[in-house]
Structure 1
Amino acid sequence: MMYVSPIIVGVAYCLLMSLIKEPHRRRFNAIMLAGAGAAYLSGGGVGPWELPFTALMAYIAYRGLESWTFIGIGWLLHTAWDVVHLLKGRPILPFAHTSSMGCAICDPVIALWCFRGGPSLIELLRRWPGPGRSADHDHASVPS
């Protein structure tokens, strides 16, 4: 469950973000990325290296205001930073020893969603062909 829960959290994040309409969804995710970039700043345990990483993430988040690709890159950078903290630093949540590992599993899920353009998962689920429905079934069509 230690490996599955972070994946569920990543999917839940993408589902919740799907409630926000574009272009606000992309911009809000850029802000979230900037916040994630500063997550270890007040005690991550890798000393002054926290500062250039936070500055890099701020730049990537700024570029992400107009680009899902930059947001995805930022989440992958954060994944790498999580691994650094797992191996050499302190966990992202001081009370949860494996939290950096969980974050390193969760972040690529979010990155993949971002590389797909941050689509509304809710809309994708609505259009997903369920039992008894074909993929080309159109609810709005009226037989002639």
Structure 2
Amino acid sequence: MDYVIPVLVGIAYVCLNSVIPEPHRLRFNALVIAGAGATYISGGGVGMWELAFTAVMTGVAYRALTSYVFVGIGWLLHTGWDILHHLKGAPILPELSHSSLGCAICDPVIALWAFGGGRSIRTRKSPSPRLA
């Protein structure tokens, strides 16, 4: 379950994003990337590097305002930061010792969606024409 639930959370995130119309969906995701960059600041286990990571993620979030590729890059950078915190024993939620591992599993699911263009799952392709 430690591996399945984070994947489901990532899928739920993608599904919920489908109700946000463009261009607001892209901008919303850029804001989320900015927030993800600052997640570990107050309780992070790597000292001043937390501030450096936040600065990098702020730059990525700025570029993500116009590009889903940078949304994906942001989620992959955050995945690496989650892994570092999991290995260091400084989880994102101190009460849940595996929370950073769960986040590291969830984030690439969202990154894959972003690298695919951040499309709504509600968008359907037009039906193929019938052959008479």
Q: TM-score per shorter chain, which class?
A: over 0.9
**TM-score, scaled relative to structure 2:** 0.93
Moved more, 85-94 or 66-75: 85-94
Q: Deviations over 1:11-70 (max 9, x none)?
A: 000100111000110010000010011000101111110000000000000000000001
Structure 2 match to 1:8: 8
Shift, 1:121, TM fit: 1.2
Change (3 A) 1:51 1:89: farther
Q: What is the CA–CA distance in structure 1 between the aligned matches of 2:29 and 2:44, rounded to whole Å?
A: 23
What percentage of aligned pairs have identical amino acids? 62
Structure 1 match to 2:28: 28
Q: Deviations over 1:57-113 (max 9, x none)?
A: 000000000000011000000000000000114100111100000000000000000
SS in 2 for 1:123: coil
**Correspondence 1:92-103 to 2 at 5 A:** 92-103=92-103
Structure 1 portions without partners, runs of 5+: 128-134
Q: What is the CA–CA distance in structure 1 between the aligned matches of 2:69 and 2:128, rounded to whole Å?
A: 32
SS in 2 for 1:72: helix
> Quick one: which amino acid aligns to residue 63 of structure 1?
R
**Correspondence 1:12-91 to 2 at 5 A:** 12-91=12-91
> Quick one: which amino acid aligns to residue 44 of structure 2?
G
Q: Which runs of 4+ in 1 moved over 6 A?
A: none
**TM-score, scaled relative to structure 1:** 0.86
Structure 2 portions without partners, runs of 5+: none
Q: What is the CA–CA distance in structure 1 between the aligned matches of 2:18 and 2:86, rounded to whole Å?
A: 30
Q: What is the CA–CA distance in structure 2 between the aligned matches of 1:122 and 1:36, rounded to whole Å?
A: 26
Larger Rg belongs to: 1
Aligned length: 131
Q: What is the CA–CA distance in structure 1 between the aligned matches of 2:10 and 2:121, rounded to whole Å?
A: 12
What RMSD, in angstroms, separates the aligned Cα atoms of the two structures?
A: 1.8
> Quick one: which amino acid aligns to residue 29 of structure 2?
N
